[in-house]
Amino acid sequence: MTNFILYLFSFFLGFGLFDPFGTNGLYFDVLTILSLVSILFRNGFSFITNRFDLPTKLLFLIALLLFFSAFLYGVSYSEFLPINFKFISAVIIFWFFSIEFSKSPEFAFKCLLIFSISCGLISLGYVLGIFNSQFEILNGRLRIFGENPNSISSRMAISFIILFYNFLINPLKLNKINLVFLSLLPTLVFFTIDTGSRGSLLILVLSIFVIVFLSNIKKVLKISLLILSLIFMFFMFVYLQDSDIMSRFQNEGLTDSRDELWTNALIIFSDNLLIGVGEEGYKLELSILSNRVLDTHNLIIYFLVTGGLITTSVFLYFLILIFKKAYFQIRLKNSLPMIFFVFFFFLMNKTGGIITYLIMWYFLAYINSFNYKKNSIS
């Protein structure tokens, strides 16, 4: 029963802000709670607490440090506590799913595959015109279900990577069924292009080369696929010549308008090096420097300004631990964890509000589920 609930969670996680039940997102909140309770009941409280590993401890420590930074900054919190409950919820999901994924790499990959199929169906619905009433093209970028283009494009790109990996490596031995999943790849590419997200498209294309290069397939097939990948890349470049996404590459670079946000955040940080100013303190300080009070769109800079060098050091240590697990899987010819790590490391340094981006913590939990033994299913 727990597996079924977690499969459902993975499927609807791919929907993002799309709510097919008209509950304004309440259905997914209930499903999230149900998933965590199911994991707790299946494993028992003592087992869960015994699996309180170092990466999870570091994340909870970050939440605690952010609280103290805000408290010491001196903002009046008469009506609320300076605690980021959404971040704590994301950390709990990271913790619980790390435990569940670690039990069975096969189960973990099934969850990822279900997530990617969900995103593939969304992209298929878009291409077929099913969601025509729910999207708009604004400044040359697709906005659908009221969701940020960078957010939804990251789901489509990561789903392409999973489906391509599943087809090439076939870890679940699905054989002919994989051909059905393969048909979703073009729609995911077109969707990602229409969102205008340059980072997601770049990682999508580069991941094809990495997966093929590190796979255990026959050498002749590997060389053939690499050549086909180059041909695919060439035709995609030609196809995108007059597109909005190419004009964004040429006119905006990779940082877009984030430079001002980063500069202002670092100015605030320079006056509060050790412990930062807390999350609410950052908003107050930024309102003095700028008429735009926005997230830093860079998680490392966000931790610098809100938690100072102490919190940022803890987070970097967390990233090192996750990277080591991904790197060890590379040595076992399993490229997927490292691709996920690079993908979300890139994303966390260009996306706003990513500290509570549930999908990132879900995939980092997948990486964290591996240990330093051979527990890859590839």
What is the maximal distance between C-alpha atoms in the chain? 68
Separation of alpha carbons 333 and 188, rounded Å: 26
The answer to whether 152 touches 144, Cβ cutoff 8 Å, is yes
Q: What is residue 254's predicted lDDT score, i.e. its pLDDT?
A: 55
| 304 vs 243, more confident | 304
Torsion angle of the four alpha carbons 286, 289, 290, 295, in this order, in degrees rounded to the nearest 10: -20
**pLDDT for the residue 228:** 85
Q: With beta carbons less than 8 A apart as the criterion, state whether 70 and 82 touch.
A: yes
175 vs 303, residue with greater confidence: 303
The predicted model scores a pTM of 0.92
Please, what is the Cα angle at 86 between 95 and 339, to 5 degrees? 55
For 137-141, what is the mean pLDDT?
Answer: 78
pLDDT-derived band at 223, boundaries 50, 70, 90: confident
User: By CB neighbour count within 10 A (0-12 exposed, 13-18 middle, 19+ buried), where does 177 fall?
Assistant: exposed
More confident residue, 232 or 360: 360
Q: Does the pLDDT value for residue 72 go beyond 80?
A: yes
Reported as a single tens digit per residue, the pLDDT across 151-206 is 889 999 999 999 999 998 888 988 888 888 989 999 999 898 888 887 788 888 88
Bridge partners of 141, per DSSP, are 138
For every residue of 2-14, DSSP letters joined together read HHHHHHHHHHHHT
DSSP state of 22: S
- Residue 74 has a pLDDT of 74
CA distances from 32 to 20, 28, 109, 265, 358 (A): 16, 6, 19, 33, 11
Alpha-carbon gap, residue 194 to 94, rounded angstroms? 31
pLDDT of residue 257: 63
Please tell me the least confidently modeled range out of 12-21, 205-214, 264-273.
205-214
pLDDT at 248 over 80: no
